[in-house]
Structure 1
Amino acid sequence: MKSSITVEDILSRRHFENSKVIAGKEGLGRQVKWVHVVEVTNIRNLLNGNELILSTGVAWRDQKEKFISVIEQLIDLQAAGICIEIGTYTSSIPQEIIDIANKSHFPIIVFLQEVQFVEITQDIHGLLINRQYQMISNLESYSQALNKSLLTIDHYVDILKFIRSYLHVQVIILFNNNESLFIPEAAEQKQMKLVECMNSSSDDSTYVAKSTIYLLGERYAELAIITEERELTEFDHLILDRTATALAQLFLRNLYVEEKQKVEATEWISDWLEGEQSQESINEYLALNSTSKPKGAVVCICKMGAIGEYSTSDLTYFKMFTRAIFEQRGFTLFVTEKRNTIVFIMLNERTTATWKARVQEGIQRLLNSDIQRVKTKVQPVFGIGKFVEELTDVHKSYQTAFETIRIQNRMSTPAQSYFYDDLHIFRLISLLHRHIDLQEVVLEYLEPVIAYDKKYNGKLMETLKTYLSCNGSKQETAKRLFIVRQTLYHRIQKLEKLLGSDFMNHEKRLAIEFMILSYEFLVSSKQLKEKKEIL
């Protein structure tokens, strides 16, 4: 359907029976959006583009320089053309002006007899308004037909063919993974030319229109239409937007279905996390569910409170949203729910040198997004296990990710990192806590200080921790504690009496620092065990 009115269309109207095109015949396909009468020479602030100008020439009469200026302004403002009445004020069109118009394909039409501009404007404006109404009607019909077809369409190619048959233009879709599709198909050389044209086009291009398709807040693909035979109109842009929306709905529906199917594979994934899948079994599974050979893997555990408090649709949305974020950053995800957590096996598809930075970026993107869609009652806690080169070692990454969550739960302050590799000394503390009576060891070193603080409501533990972190600098310690030096000296004397005057000696100092961290680890655990006395 032709949605625009061109200069050539207007020439067929009855008021143009005695008109003649004397210049710019190659521009007769220019779109006309309005008709405007101009009888002044300075028009740079009067037009918006695509206006067909009517004039008697009274503004310039026989002054060729002013006439040239008007024509050049109209060309710069992308007017559709100019219609000049030959007679009282303009007897002829200079050849120099004809040459300028021909060079820019700018139509100059002359009326050989006197015409009434008011009748022309009424006729053409009526035509434009009727065409606008028709465009709205056609757009609604297109949308209804497209929405109806979505009920039966299984592949996005059918939608691309739908818009192609309606607009008769070249249709291109480019996905973020560099896959592309051209409707109609094009040779490889032409494909490269079309993509280059698409990437280099500006938003106001008259031959290329683009619309970005977003899924769950992330850029998924870009849809474009390109034409070499006519200018794209407002109607073309509206059809493009409606089609992009329909594609987004189809892609989202397919993702949802895929997510549901992947949930059904949780038993196999659970065995994988337990180290019960062989290399052969893993290869067979990935051959059916992944398109590339992974370069290692890492397990991410997400804890959001009790999984049972969330609906199936909310959890499915969260998994889809997380998958979309990390796939943009070079990971293929396999998801399952295990031990009241959501577990993501993340297969790395890019260089191993950047996996950690990409995971960190993805988590920050997730935390900064509107995750209230899943009605999270608590801030999600993430634990990232060790990166493993072999896929048969995924269970090791899972175990360390679970240990990361365990350590984070026992820490009094939020962890500075989600990665097991960054927990350092806390990994040792957790390991010791599981195999020995850590409380007894802590009390062996710190019981005098703990007992003193409890008896006198003192702050010796805080002072000790700060003094050690300042490497024994009294000035820096007093500054951090907001106390005068004399008070600090008194506290240090008390610490020397309780811990021994050698507590700053290298080996003993290291042991005390380790015990302070262990003490905080145990104290925060007390809060997790319903105020059960640990110390």
Structure 2
Amino acid sequence: MNVTDLQVRDILQRPLFAGARLAAGSRGIGRPVGWVHVIEIVRNAPFVRPHDLILTTGLWLKQPVQDRLDYVRQLIVQEAAGLILELGTSIDEVAVEVLDLAEEHGFPVIVFDRPVRFSDITQDIHGLILGRRRASQDQADRFARRLQQLTLQHSDIAAVLRLLHADTGRQTVFYSLLEPDRHHPPLAAEPGQRELAGLELRELELAGRFGDGRAPLLLPLELGGQLLLRPVLGYGQLLAAVGLVVEDSEEAELRSPYLEAAASAAAALTLRTQFGREHEARRQDRLIPELMEGKARSEEQARSLAGLAAGGAGAALALLLELEADDGEDRGDRLEGAARDLPVLLRTLLRKHGLRGSLHAESASLTRLLLLADGGGFPAAEQRLLGGARRVLEDALRYAGEQLGGMRLRAAGGKARAALLDAPAAFREAGEALEIARRVPELGAAVFYHELGAYQLLQAIPDTQLLGGYVQDHLGPILQLEKEARRQLLETLDMYLKCFGSKHETARRLFIHRQTLYNRMERLTELIGDPFREPHKRIGLEMALMAYKLRSGAGPSAR
């Protein structure tokens, strides 16, 4: 039971209840009281919440026996705190069968033998409830202040759990995606505690149980009670959750301010730890510079630098991440701040997703990341790295979109390699992919070199005049049109080819009327012929459109 809940026994001690008697349900005087109100109708269930204390003049006692019993049964099922009956207004006595039912279920029935003012009772009890809630909030505020002082003196989450337990008297838990889980007091081998020890935070995250990641989560426990969890966030990512075992939703609501303060403290400690790790890692991590500068003379030396066992087989995946800031007076400051945070975010995400990697900040805007997987052979390691890289980049890009106003994050990956000494070639591929992503925004904010298809070939052509001539040969008549006409026809041609010549699908995806499409296609045919008449011409047009996007730095719709 919640230690600050008002109980039925407390109500009986109020001066207004000096003339009342407990007629039944003495076993239930420890029931918590959450609110008090009047209900006279027999079908009362829709209007009763758990812990409501019900006032009544007993009009329903004039109903048939079954209706009288139904009134009380509904209160019991709805977990009401108890029933207060007034004699002398509607009834002169309480039916024996009603008292017997209440006694059987330990449901308190308080009787006033003469009429009383219900308004005085409700005002008194409501004032008591609200006063206790204010006192509880004051206690939570004092806890938050003590917790703030604690985080200035300690860097261990265990200190937060100890203080949370001391103030609430409840079992505290800390589930982390970065560190081992913690519990205070330590969990025993009992069934209920094994359930707490076996909870998997990652499964809750993957199942979407935390929603937007900011709301608390209340989980029922098999042996009774509930687990109240509050997410611990850093850089917009779920990193951990701190929790309390509570009896019910009422206590969960009361304890929520304590848990919110504990989660904020845990987030501060977690990020402080991650910043410390990043500082130490930056000092020690020389793998990428050594590989890029050719100082690692052998694969075994490279594996030693990476902390991998000699003679193993795995894979490495090179990634480049680029920060870009909008123009403005504070552009440099914003870029510098984001550049400080990005390595910490990336190392945090690597730990969260169980990945191993080396990080090197090439400049304020460019960061190199080399993901490593060892064991299981190259094909399996390659798939692990690609899947992990996509998860890390998805989280990083979401953080950038939500938190870095006026900034953009772009990422690109080279092909996975079996040998660490091939990392420079992989980073060159990542650089090519990054350049393509800059020029062709429709490819998305994260691209991988092996998925770029013909863009690989077009980007590798050194003669820009040759590429420009190729574009003119295939698209020249369109490019000579006025800007708006050029934009519409290039956009239409591009979508028509992507839809494999389906006019219905092309019109649908362009959000234009079919007749508008027919008019544009007729104009395209006049200028360049039927794009689908000859396969080699269709392929040539597709390549020309890709080359145009690559050279112009934007898709057809943006020109």
Scaled by the length of structure 1, what TM-score is found? 0.72
Gapped regions of structure 2 (runs ≥ 5): 200-216, 326-330, 375-379, 504-516, 554-559
**Seq. identity, %:** 20
Tell me the distance in 2 between the aligned counterparts of 1:137 and 1:323.
38
In structure 2, the CA distance between the partners of 1:98 and 1:206, relative to structure 1 (3 Å rule), is farther
Tell me the distance in 2 between the aligned counterparts of 1:217 and 1:446.
44
Displacement of 1:244: 1.9
Residue 331 of structure 1 pairs with residue 355 of structure 2: yes
Tell me the distance in 1 between the aligned counterparts of 2:38 and 2:437.
75
Partner of 1:386: 415
Of stretches 340-349 and 150-159 in structure 1, the one that deviates more from structure 2 is: 340-349
Q: Is the 8 A contact 2:477 2:528 kept in 1?
A: no
Tell me the distance in 1 between the aligned counterparts of 2:304 and 2:343.
24
Residue 80 of structure 1 pairs with residue 104 of structure 2: no
SS at match of 2:61: coil
Displacement of 1:362: 4.7
The one-letter amino acid paired with 1:98 is D
Residue 345 of structure 1 pairs with residue 370 of structure 2: yes
Q: Is the 8 A contact 1:295 1:348 kept in 2?
A: yes
SS at match of 1:232: helix
Q: 1:91 aligns with which of 83, 87, 93?
A: 93
Q: Is the 8 A contact 1:173 1:222 kept in 2?
A: yes
Superimposed CA distance per residue, residues 94-136 of structure 1 (whole angstroms, 9 cap, x where no aligned partner):
3465346534x4323445x548455654543443233233223
Where do residues 37-52 of structure 1 align in structure 2 (5 Å cutoff)? Answer: 37-52=38-53
Residue 421 of structure 1 pairs with residue 442 of structure 2: no
Scaled by the length of structure 2, what TM-score is found? 0.69
Where do residues 464-483 of structure 1 align in structure 2 (5 Å cutoff)? Answer: 482=520
Q: Is the 8 A contact 1:330 1:348 kept in 2?
A: no
Q: Is the 8 A contact 2:69 2:97 kept in 1?
A: no
Q: 2:430 aligns with which of 401, 409, 429?
A: 401
In structure 2, the CA distance between the partners of 1:356 and 1:227, relative to structure 1 (3 Å rule), is same
Provide the alpha-carbon RMSD of the alignment.
5.1
Structure label with greater radius of gyration: 1
Displacement of 1:158: 0.7
SS at match of 1:129: helix
SS at match of 1:239: helix
In structure 2, the CA distance between the partners of 1:23 and 1:319, relative to structure 1 (3 Å rule), is farther
The one-letter amino acid paired with 1:356 is L
Displacement of 1:165: 0.7
Q: Is the 8 A contact 1:317 1:374 kept in 2?
A: no
SS at match of 1:219: strand
Partner of 1:102: 104
Tell me the distance in 2 between the aligned counterparts of 1:84 and 1:448.
95
Tell me the distance in 2 between the aligned counterparts of 1:415 and 1:156.
42
Where do residues 517-532 of structure 1 align in structure 2 (5 Å cutoff)? Answer: 520=548, 523-524=551-552
Residue 218 of structure 1 pairs with residue 218 of structure 2: no
Tell me the distance in 2 between the aligned counterparts of 1:171 and 1:75.
32
Q: Is the 8 A contact 1:256 1:316 kept in 2?
A: no
In structure 2, the CA distance between the partners of 1:31 and 1:510, relative to structure 1 (3 Å rule), is closer
Residue 250 of structure 1 pairs with residue 269 of structure 2: yes
SS at match of 1:303: strand
Displacement of 1:154: 0.6
In structure 2, the CA distance between the partners of 1:24 and 1:179, relative to structure 1 (3 Å rule), is farther
Superimposed CA distance per residue, residues 195-237 of structure 1 (whole angstroms, 9 cap, x where no aligned partner):
68998529xx974423222222222222221146997264322
Tell me the distance in 2 between the aligned counterparts of 1:143 and 1:90.
53
Superimposed CA distance per residue, residues 145-180 of structure 1 (whole angstroms, 9 cap, x where no aligned partner):
111111112111111111101111111222246942
Q: 1:301 aligns with which of 303, 317, 320?
A: 320
In structure 2, the CA distance between the partners of 1:481 and 1:246, relative to structure 1 (3 Å rule), is same
In structure 2, the CA distance between the partners of 1:511 and 1:157, relative to structure 1 (3 Å rule), is closer
Tell me the distance in 1 between the aligned counterparts of 2:198 and 2:107.
28
Of stretches 171-180 and 364-373 in structure 1, the one that deviates more from structure 2 is: 364-373
In structure 2, the CA distance between the partners of 1:196 and 1:86, relative to structure 1 (3 Å rule), is farther
Q: Is the 8 A contact 2:39 2:55 kept in 1?
A: yes
Tell me the distance in 2 between the aligned counterparts of 1:176 and 1:309.
31
SS at match of 1:187: coil
Gapped regions of structure 1 (runs ≥ 5): 288-292, 494-503, 526-535
Of stretches 218-227 and 54-63 in structure 1, the one that deviates more from structure 2 is: 54-63
Displacement of 1:80: 0.7
Tell me the distance in 2 between the aligned counterparts of 1:194 and 1:97.
41
- Aligned pair count reads 495
Tell me the distance in 2 between the aligned counterparts of 1:474 and 1:385.
33
Partner of 2:152: 151
SS at match of 1:353: helix
Where do residues 507-522 of structure 1 align in structure 2 (5 Å cutoff)? Answer: 520=548
Q: Is the 8 A contact 2:50 2:79 kept in 1?
A: yes
Partner of 1:532: none
